[in-house]
Amino acid sequence: MIPDRDLHLDLCDDNDNAADKPEEACGVFGIYAPGQEVAKLTYFGLYALQHRGQESAGIATFDGQQLHEHRDMGLVSHVFSPEILAQLPGQLAIGHTRYSTTGSSRRCNAQPVIVETKLGKLALAHNGNLVNTAELQQYLLAKGCELNTTIDSEMIALVIREEVNAGKGWVDATISACQRCVGAFSLTIATPDGIMAIRDTNGIRPLVLGIMPDHVSHYVVASETCALDIIGADYERDVKPGELLWITEEGITAIEWAPKAEPKLCIFEMIYFARPDSWVHEESLYSYRMRLGKQLAKESFHAADIVIGVPDSGIPAAIGFSEASGIPYAEGLIKNRYVGRTFIQPTQEMREAGIRMKLNPLRDVLKGKRVIVIDDSIVRGTTSRKLVKALRDAGATEIHMRISSPPVTHPCFYGIDTDTQDQLIAATKSVAEIAEQIGVDTLAYLSWEGMLSATERNPNHFCSACFTGDYPVEIPDGIKRSKLMLEIGARG
């Protein structure tokens, strides 16, 4: 039986080894392109989305009524080979790459999810997280459904199956299922007749539509525009919040399944998760992140010799800070870009050496310098403390840390892997206390207002609950209690 809790957000109990950044859950991809090698195109799309998840990867294709699929644990390049891709023929495909969450790193949880219906098989890939899993679980168990995974994505697929088996077509069944789902979901769904792309009523997780330039009837959907770029597709538009796209041999049909949709894109997608070369709101996220740095310089200037960014996500903001402040930008940290997740645990002595397996300071750049360090966020503070020690060991005389987002004080329930509230350093300590704990001379965060104003968009069209606790989708009490430790304690 699936526990009554947030299924995607299992937590790491090892405080030393837990991630010190919020982690995205998944990347999704879908393509309708008869006559093309859809499996290979999907492979490259997932390759571009690898930053969104490194646990598992999968592709499902349809060749008429026949479904072909391959899923396994590991990176996209490890899961698929030319021989495997050759065994995935078809005119349409969807793909998925998933972030590893402790306790659920099993092959059965790899997506796409496959279910059998009376209209044929259905494959579903999901990015996001539902908050009404207990309700859906009760509904499905009452229907006699067997749950084979520990992910809410399977529940969505099973609800669609129930609606199809009750006599509805693919689109109507999917709309009915989505109306039962509460939370964040961007979906790509493959059927024998076509593919669907759907976003929840708030569009919390991203999803975009592209067109293959030499084949105007060939469409692509993906979590980010970088997955369109890699296969040469042209960005057409975002899938709207509360919208379903149905793509078949007859073309594309857009349906507003949730007329009262209200955009609430996750602001962390713009700050950190999405690749800097992905486009949101008609510009690259590199440009937005530079503006964050410029705003940060206006709000928290400090005299220094150089500005450095923490690779990779802190670099655009560092460049923006440098431009606005007039302090020279320098590369003070070199990232080993070939280091992924390792299952070989370092010794305690190696751990104490810091984080140099991934980041190594440039001593001749840092020695004798007053340094401003730009990072995108501080979640637990463990990585920041090790980083600061490494910079001091390299000879930096002063370290002034600047964060290009506000303090993270509340956990996410919509598909981001964050700690319980009592493990979020900014929820329990003041800025001065955090500065002391991580060992910097000064520390400053970007203001919430500055973060939103830098979007140059309607600030009400973003979810920033991790900074404010103002959740756009109501969270059931049982799930709240699992993460909002401080609020529960205060009320008790």
**What pLDDT sits at residue 340?**
55
Residues with pLDDT less than 70, the chain: 1-25, 100-105, 339-357, 419, 483, 485-492
Read off φ and ψ for residue 408, nearest 5 degrees. Answer: -80, 110
pTM: 0.90
Which of 400, 428, 406 minimizes the C-alpha distance to 489?
428
Which of 418, 441, 445, 421 minimizes the C-alpha distance to 431?
445
Q: Which amino acid is at 446?
A: L
* Whole-number Å distance between alpha carbons of 55 and 104: 10
Is residue 82 classed exposed, middle or buried when 0-12, 13-18 and 19+ CB atoms within 10 A define those classes? exposed
**What pLDDT sits at residue 344?**
54
Which of 192, 185, 197, 120 minimizes the C-alpha distance to 156?
185
Residue 354 backbone zone (phi > 0: left; psi -120 to 50: alpha; other: beta): left
**What pLDDT sits at residue 151?**
87
Give the number of C-alpha atoms closer than 13 A to the C-alpha of residue 139, restricted to the C-beta side.
16
Q: Which amino acid is at 409?
A: T
Q: What positions carry a catalytic annotation?
A: 26
Residue 69 backbone zone (phi > 0: left; psi -120 to 50: alpha; other: beta): beta
* Whole-number Å distance between alpha carbons of 219 and 420: 40
Burial 334-362 (b: 16+ CB within 10 A, else e): eeeeeeeeeeeeeeeeeeeebbbebbebe
Q: End-to-end distance of the chain based on CA atoms, in angstroms?
A: 30
**What pLDDT sits at residue 491?**
40
Residue 469 backbone zone (phi > 0: left; psi -120 to 50: alpha; other: beta): left
Q: Which amino acid is at 248?
A: T
Count of residues in the chain: 492
**What pLDDT sits at residue 89?**
98
Structure tokens at 400: 């002034």
Structure tokens at 231: 């296969």
pLDDT tens-place string over residues 98-112? 985 433 557 878 899
* Whole-number Å distance between alpha carbons of 197 and 207: 8
Read off φ and ψ for residue 257, nearest 5 degrees. Answer: -85, -15
**What pLDDT sits at residue 148?**
87
The DSSP 8-state label assigned to residue 90 in this structure reads -
Which of 367, 376, 390, 366 minimizes the C-alpha distance to 438?
390
* Whole-number Å distance between alpha carbons of 346 and 121: 45
In this structure, the number of other CB atoms found within 10 A of the CB of residue 376 comes to 24
Is residue 215 classed exposed, middle or buried when 0-12, 13-18 and 19+ CB atoms within 10 A define those classes? middle
Measuring CA to CA, how many Å separate 10 from each of 99, 322, 471? 11, 38, 20
